[in-house]
Amino acid sequence: MRLLGKRRIFLLSIALWFVFTVLLSIAGLVVERPLMAAEPDRLEVGVDSGGGVRATAQVLFPAKLEIVQALLSDYRHWPNLFETRMRVADLQIHDGIATVDLRIEHPLMPGERRLITESRILPNGGLVTDLTGGDFKRYRRIWKLQPVEEGDQTRADFELVVEIKSMVPDWLVVIAMRQELETHFRIVKQKALEHSKR
């Protein structure tokens, strides 16, 4: 009986979070409409056939490839590129491979969740990040970068597959991930622009 009560409270908190997120999204559409240029060129998020969620995007960054690459591979400061609360618990770099131990707090995942990944820089520009441990079933993120506009801007192809060890349904993760990625891309664009003006 106690388990049933806890599950009901958990599901109610998810439903309330969902309503709150939708209301914030609607408010954000009204308030942030002038910032449309900062939104991703293309973003698709859906349930992956293998379980979890898959997101793909093409993003145009207003900075040279070297600046975007430096931002994405500044592992110690990854939390600054997201709105979700997270911290780097440990970072080790050996032979060009960065092992990052992130601790993430998210309304969909009660408590602090652990995400341990290995990242390596791609030779032609970009970054591949793969799951090595923690509270996720699957995690793979790929950034492929290429210079455009005579090298003054960077086109990024982005792919992310995530499956969380959680009772949260994938459709709810899809909604949250879309909003979080839009914010993430906007933050990276803003920081890239700031760095390119230095």
139 pairs with which residues across the strands? 162
Digit-coded pLDDT (tens) for 105-163: 988 877 899 999 999 999 999 999 999 999 999 999 999 999 998 889 999 999 999 99
Three-state DSSP string of 18-75: HHHHHHHHHHHHHHCHHHHHHCCCEEEEEECCCCCEEEEEEEEECCCHHHHHHHHCCH
pTM for the structure as a whole: 0.79
List pLDDT tens digits, range 41-68: 899 999 999 889 999 999 999 999 999 9
Q: What pLDDT band is residue 197 in, cutting at 50, 70 and 90?
A: confident
CB contact at 8 A, 185 and 62 = no
Query: What pLDDT does 10 receive?
Result: 52
